[in-house]
Amino acid sequence: MRIDVVSIFPAYLQALDLSLVGKARRTGLLDLRVHDLRDWTDDRHRTVDDTPFGGGAGMVMRPDVWGAALDEVMRPAPGEPVDAHLLVPTPSGRTFTQRMAEELAGDGHLVLACGRYEGIDARVAEHVGARHRVSEVSIGDYVLNGGEAAALVVVEAVVRLLPGVVGNPASLVEESHGAAGLLEYPVYTKPPTWEGLEVPEVLLSGHHGRVERWRRDRALERTAERRPDLVAALDPATLDRADLAVLARLGWSVVDGRVSRGPDAVA
Ligand code: JA8
């Protein structure tokens, strides 16, 4: 896969030299190129922004500079049939999810445009959109100072899904259907006693069936506590009697084929 990242702070992306993404680059599984947007300016001050039409606070990134950068970076190399997909991190984008990461991992060429200030002139997405797929993506409901940190998140989430990048693919399999739609259970390692805190006895028992049940119970409890939206989205057909008992204790039940909570839900 090829990934290009365009930013006015290319040094911000140096983290992509490290760890699993860095290794994927060195082994040739990933062709990752980081560019300085100012390389496409033509004035003495290397200007990338200007004041917003219609007034208001802050500055907006100029379409001419971004257009020149993206036209060049997204142009298919001779004999390269893959269509580049532009990703623009922005708090007003569609929420970036694991499913989206899985879809993007199937693309041949991703380009990330990291905006700063009040964002990029809206005509850039329109211009690029005439020839390429363009997706504005949000990594969560908070505001950053620019798209760079979000680009790091997207690149890492996608690259670890590329074949051969994660050392033990069993980890990916377990992750994807370990407990569909639930948060992970808590994990422990040696020593069995630390600072007066014990590892739950069942995990030392060697009883595989009891371990699996305990993990499932803890995953359900955590999810109900932290992410009730995920519990409400569970398919009742994926829940066994023990699951339903745990959920009932937490005030959830199946009503009209849906997992729901509240007065009607309590048996
Ligand atoms: C921001 Br400025 C800017 C650009 C991209 C993003 S993604 C996010 N959560 N905040 C801010």
Centre of ligand 1 to C-alpha 91, Å, is: 5
Minimal-distance CA residue to ligand 1 atom 3:
146
Rounded Cα–Cα distance for residues 248 and 95 (Å)? 31
Is residue 73 pLDDT above 90, yes or no? yes
Query: What digits encode the pLDDT tens for the residues 215-259?
Result: 999 999 999 999 999 999 999 999 999 999 999 999 999 999 999
Task: Please work out whether the CB of residue 144 comes within 6 Å of at least one atom of ligand 1.
Answer: yes
Is residue 171 pLDDT above 90, yes or no? no
Task: Please work out whether the CB of residue 61 comes within 6 Å of at least one atom of ligand 1.
Answer: no
Q: Write down the residue that tokens 């050392």 correspond to.
A: 167
CA neighbor of 77 nearest in space, from 25, 2, 162, 147: 2
Rounded Cα–Cα distance for residues 59 and 119 (Å)? 8
Total Cβ atoms within 10 A of residue 155: 23
Is residue 177 pLDDT above 80, yes or no? no
DSSP secondary structure string for all residues of 85-111 = EEEEEEEEEEEP-HHHHHHHTT-SEEE
Q: What is the dihedral of CA 227, 228, 233, 236, to 10 degrees?
A: 120
Task: Please work out whether the CB of residue 150 comes within 6 Å of at least one atom of ligand 1.
Answer: yes
pTM, two decimal places: 0.95
Span 84-101, average pLDDT:
98
Q: How confident is the model at residue 264 (pLDDT cuts 50, 70, 90)?
A: low
**pLDDT computed for residue 80 by the predictor:** 77
| Shortest-distance atom of ligand 1 to CA 150 | 7
Query: What digits encode the pLDDT tens for the residues 34-57?
Result: 999 999 999 999 999 999 999 999
**pLDDT computed for residue 79 by the predictor:** 84
**pLDDT computed for residue 265 by the predictor:** 62
Centre of ligand 1 to C-alpha 145, Å, is: 6
Centre of ligand 1 to C-alpha 147, Å, is: 5
**pLDDT computed for residue 108 by the predictor:** 95
Give the amino acid at 42: D
Backbone phi, psi, residue 71, to 5°:
-60, -40
Minimal-distance CA residue to ligand 1 atom 7:
90
How high does pLDDT run on average in the chain?
Answer: 95
**pLDDT computed for residue 64 by the predictor:** 98
- Is residue 156 within 8 Å of 98, Cβ to Cβ? no
Minimal-distance CA residue to ligand 1 atom 1:
144
**pLDDT computed for residue 267 by the predictor:** 55
Centre of ligand 1 to C-alpha 152, Å, is: 12
Percent of the chain at pLDDT exceeding 70: 96
Query: What digits encode the pLDDT tens for the residues 132-165?
Result: 999 999 999 999 999 999 999 999 999 999 999 9
Is residue 71 pLDDT above 80, yes or no? yes
- Is residue 1 within 8 Å of 109, Cβ to Cβ? yes
CA neighbor of 186 nearest in space, from 228, 214, 156, 144: 214
Question: In whole angstroms, how far apart are CA 117 and each of 8, 145, 157, 236?
Answer: 11, 7, 25, 46
**pLDDT computed for residue 207 by the predictor:** 98
Centre of ligand 1 to C-alpha 254, Å, is: 39
